[in-house]
Amino acid sequence: MQWDVSVGQATLLTLLIGVSVGTLATLLALVVSLGTFWFRIAGWHLAVGLVSSFLLVPVYVQATAWSAGFGSNGWLRLSQVDAAKWPWMGVASVVWIHACAALPYCFWIVSLGLRRIHDARVDQALVEFGPWFSLRRQILPRLGTWLLGAFLWAFASVQYDMVVTNLFQTPTLCESVYQQVQFGKLRSVPILIAWGISMVCGLALALSVFLSMPHEASQGGRSTADPSGSERLEASIAGPWHVWLTLTIWGVLAVCCMVPWMNLISRMGWSSLVVEGRGVRSWSLNESIDSIGHVADFREEFGWSLQLSLWATGLSLFLTAVMIQWSSNRYRSAWMFGIIGCMLATPGPLINLTVGQLLNRWLPGSWSFLSDRTLLGPILALQFRVLPVVFGLIWVTRQAYLKRYGELLALEAGLPHRMRVYSSMRFCQWGWILAFWIGFSIAFGDLASYLLVQPPGVTTVAMRMFDLLHYGTKNREAGLAVVLAFFGTLSSLAWLRFPRSRPNANRS
């Protein structure tokens, strides 16, 4: 039990793991981003697709993949049991899994920063002094805000999620608060410290994102949606350096992005038999197919996850439609970004505690059925994860609309409000579709925010996977994880193609 761990130890581990994850993920993202969008390594298109394919893959699926490869029967002898015996091995496991999960997000944050800072000064330095000089004197110094944003995103991902720390029994603040809420052993000091760290991180992340995003008054006409677009950031380097850089980046991607797939596929086909009193392990394609077939055993869990994700995403879209009208100027937008930044960084156990208190103590007793017989609790809890992302996407789309049609909107100020709203919705329709898509994926893959407020009899896919992981990754769990990773990858790659297809859709 970790609920009674000392506050000092939990705080130290929280900061140690958060800083380590943020630093590792940001450095890897910087190297991969520079190699793909600046130096254009061999196969850079494929590299971008590979690192982006994990954007919408749930963290518990990635934890399953690493546990499958490095568990008790994996390539390396590192499992939850080993982590309990050697705590520092558990810390290293948590850092590595979270860093790999945060890498795609950090990669795109840094890549968008590369595009935003690319201007005439960079081109002049590139022409006159070469790529290394422009990289040291122009790119890296001006990329600081974006690197900070990537670091804070990775740091926040550790603060609000307790799935990985729970698997490897690492007593961070989030894990300690989770067990306090679970067993009713609440302690005010760790709760306040966890809340304070998350709020500072959330506000800092919101500030860095808000200052780096394009606004209506910003220089118009330049899209930040696709760093691989028409404006090339390419810098030529000598052949040997280019080869070494290509090998290095592909080595990083192979370890961080290919190995998890290999782990799952490998574990999915293994079977163990007892022959003459001795265990014999073998891998077969038939066993892999059978493991995929067992996904049908989780029909009920998929049904609950689908229903919960649809309701949660629908509520987020409704709240965003209201909030986007209120945040009509820069100051209101700043306040709104501060609020959603704090929501995004709030630890999952604190969300469970707040929603549980709301439904069980603050509402009248006659309304207790809302907690026990409806999905209201998980739906409200998921707003802390889905609403910030949905609002951010719609806000960016609206800013693009205002910059593109600002003068025309000024002339149409006298038109009825419903006509102006219809015009805005028509332009932003693909943004709303994208927001629904990504919001649904986040709701489907999240677990920490609603784990303790699920009504009786409701078990989602995330919850079932979380339970099964505590007993090690076996064939059936690996098959389910492969299916979930496959659909997450499809969604991620479709999102990657979305910005390029949007203009054509608008013209039609």
Q: What is the mean pLDDT of residues 459-486?
A: 81
Instruction: From 180, 69, 278, select the one nearest 189 (Cα to Cα).
Output: 180
Output 104 or 325, whichever has higher pLDDT: 104
Supply the pLDDT for residue 252. Answer: 92
Supply the pLDDT for residue 251. Answer: 93
Q: What is the mean pLDDT of the chain?
A: 80
Output 379 or 120, whichever has higher pLDDT: 379
Distances (CA, A) of 356 to 184, 265, 365: 12, 39, 14
Band (366; pLDDT cuts 50, 70, 90): confident
CA angle 338-343-346, nearest 5°?
A: 120
Q: Is the pLDDT of residue 410 over 50?
A: yes
Supply the pLDDT for residue 390. Answer: 92
Q: What is the mean pLDDT of residues 208-227?
A: 53
CA angle 32-218-26, nearest 5°?
A: 20
Contact, 455 vs 417, CB < 8 A? Answer: no
Q: What is the mean pLDDT of residues 105-129?
A: 82
Q: What is the mean pLDDT of residues 249-258?
A: 92
- The DSSP annotation for 492-508 comes to HHHHHHHHHHHHHHHH-
Round to whole Å and give the CA distance between 268 and 290: 9
Q: What is the mean pLDDT of residues 272-300?
A: 76
Instruction: From 144, 229, 168, 101, select the one nearest 501 (Cα to Cα).
Output: 229
Q: What is the mean pLDDT of residues 230-247?
A: 69
Output 88 or 307, whichever has higher pLDDT: 307
Q: What is the mean pLDDT of residues 155-159?
A: 88
Q: What backbone torsions phi and psi does residue 453 show, to the nearest 5 degrees?
A: -120, 15
Band (24; pLDDT cuts 50, 70, 90): very high
Q: What is the mean pLDDT of residues 281-303?
A: 82
Supply the pLDDT for residue 408. Answer: 58
Band (407; pLDDT cuts 50, 70, 90): low
Round to whole Å and give the CA distance between 358 and 352: 10
Assign 3-state DSSP to the chain and report helix, strand, coil percentages, each to 5: 75, 0, 20
pLDDT in tens, 338-364: 888 888 889 988 999 999 888 888 888
Q: Of the spans 60-74, 126-140, 245-259, 478-492, which averages the highest pLDDT? A: 245-259
Supply the pLDDT for residue 90. Answer: 81
Instruction: From 433, 448, 491, 386, select the one nearest 178 (Cα to Cα).
Output: 448
| CB proximity list for 505: less than 8 A, separation 6 or greater | 430
Instruction: From 419, 7, 454, select the one nearest 194 (Cα to Cα).
Output: 7
Helix runs in 171-284, H state only: 173-183, 188-212, 239-253, 259-268
Q: Of the spans 110-114, 283-287, 492-496, which averages the highest pLDDT? A: 110-114
Among 39-53, 178-192, 218-232, name the one with the lowest average pLDDT.
218-232
Q: State in Å, rounded, how far the first CA of the chain is from the last one.
A: 59
Q: Is the pLDDT of residue 417 over 70?
A: no
Q: For residue 365, what is the DSSP state?
A: G
How far from the centroid of its chain's Cα atoms is residue 118's Cα?
26
